[in-house]
Amino acid sequence: MSTEGSQAARPFRFGVNLVTPAPDDAWRAKCRRAEELGYDVILVPDHLGAPSPFPSLVAAADATSRPRLGTFVLNCAFWNPVLLAREVTTTVALTGGRLELGLGTGYVREEFEQAGLEWGTPGSRVAHLERTVAELDRLLSAPDQGPRPPLLIGANGDRMLRITAEHADIAAFTGARAPAGNAGGLEPLTGDELEERVATYRKLAADRAESAELNLLVQLVAVTDDRAAAVQPFLEHLPHLAEEQVLDSPLLLVGTVEQITEQLLERRERFGFSYFTVLEPSMEALAPVIEELRGR
């Protein structure tokens, strides 16, 4: 049964997260290529070693005309909310209002240590994100501001899903959870576990006047006739999952163009996901599927 109930399915949107830094001409060419391939959103993460989000998105706006531009996602621990509001306001202006603002708590402990930031606890990182959202709501809703950019929040735990239900225009599901303890990193969820997380979000968001768009980050796109061979590299990193569980993972799109098209239709029907983000190495592979699903 669809998790959307009687609601009409949202049309598909596709985003690509550009994770590899590049010089000016190469960066702009990469952004133009994403536009040519039909991507609806060009995204930049917020990891040390990745491109700096806001200047990269301004350059992407200058190189393209159609796609929206987003952070996927900002590590709130890296940002003072007042200074972040300044960055957001400037980027909205310089991108012609095409910005979508994505926020998360940060999950790579080594990055906190490299930046000289306190790792803290899961609760303290969530609390900082919640304060950041409140401050941005206040600062970006001033009378001299235009509309606040759409807000995406990446979430999995109950408290984060509550914040997402209360504030986010786009609910982004990582499809992974933090492992036990507080060491950092993420562990992938099974399809059933992800379905339970989406159901929890829907309960928390039941009183919303307008439902949020649901996003899922896809870790791999492999167009192939041999699905089993394509997932072999993942099996050694996921010893607790059998091959069939990996093949059925919502985080992977593996098969022929026709099979991947059906997988995305099924994931929209089962979970309600209509907005899918892929990583830069999968940008070209997903293009024929985007063409198949355009307007559906």
Q: Let me know if residue 117 belongs to a domain.
A: yes
* pLDDT value, residue 7: 62
| Distance separating alpha carbons of residues 236 and 78, to the nearest angstrom | 33
Q: Let me know if residue 7 belongs to a domain.
A: no
Q: Let me know if residue 235 belongs to a domain.
A: no
Residue type present at position 291: E
User: Rounded to a whole number, what is the distance in angstroms from the first to the last CA of the chain?
Assistant: 19
| Distance separating alpha carbons of residues 296 and 292, to the nearest angstrom | 9
Tell me phi and psi for residue 192, to 5 degrees.
-65, -40
Domain enclosing residue 152, as ranges: 13-219+259-293
Q: Return the CATH number at 146.
A: 3.20.20.30
* pLDDT value, residue 1: 38
| Distance separating alpha carbons of residues 130 and 78, to the nearest angstrom | 14
DSSP result, the chain: --TTTTSPPPPPEEEEE--S---HHHHHHHHHHHHHTT-SEEEE---TTSPPHHHHHHHHHHH-SS-EEEES-EEGGG--HHHHHHHHHHHHHHTTT-EEEEEE----HHHHHHTT-----HHHHHHHHHHHHHHHHHHTTSTTS-PPPPEEEEE-SHHHHHHHHHH-SEEEE-SEEPPSSS----EEPPHHHHHHHHHHHHHHTTT-SSPPEEEEEESEEEE-S-HHHHHHHHHTT-TTS-HHHHHT-TTEEEE-HHHHHHHHHHHHHHH---EEEEEGGGHHHHHHHHHHHTT-
Q: Let me know if residue 120 belongs to a domain.
A: yes
Q: Let me know if residue 239 belongs to a domain.
A: no
* pLDDT value, residue 145: 74
* pLDDT value, residue 84: 98
Least Cα distance to 222 among 282, 276, 266, 289 occurs for 282
| Distance separating alpha carbons of residues 36 and 33, to the nearest angstrom | 5
In terms of pTM, does the model score above 0.85?
yes
* pLDDT value, residue 177: 82
Per-residue pLDDT of the chain (296 residues; tens, 9 = 90+): 344 444 679 999 999 999 999 999 999 999 999 999 999 999 999 999 999 999 999 999 999 999 999 999 999 999 999 999 999 999 999 999 999 999 999 999 999 999 999 999 999 999 999 999 999 999 998 777 778 899 999 999 999 999 999 999 999 998 888 777 787 778 888 899 999 999 999 999 999 999 999 999 999 999 999 999 999 988 887 777 888 888 999 999 999 999 999 999 999 999 999 999 999 999 999 999 999 999 89
* pLDDT value, residue 6: 43
Q: Let me know if residue 248 belongs to a domain.
A: no
Q: Let me know if residue 252 belongs to a domain.
A: no
Q: Provide the number of structural domains found in the chain.
A: 1
Least Cα distance to 219 among 284, 288, 287, 277 occurs for 277
Q: Let me know if residue 113 belongs to a domain.
A: yes
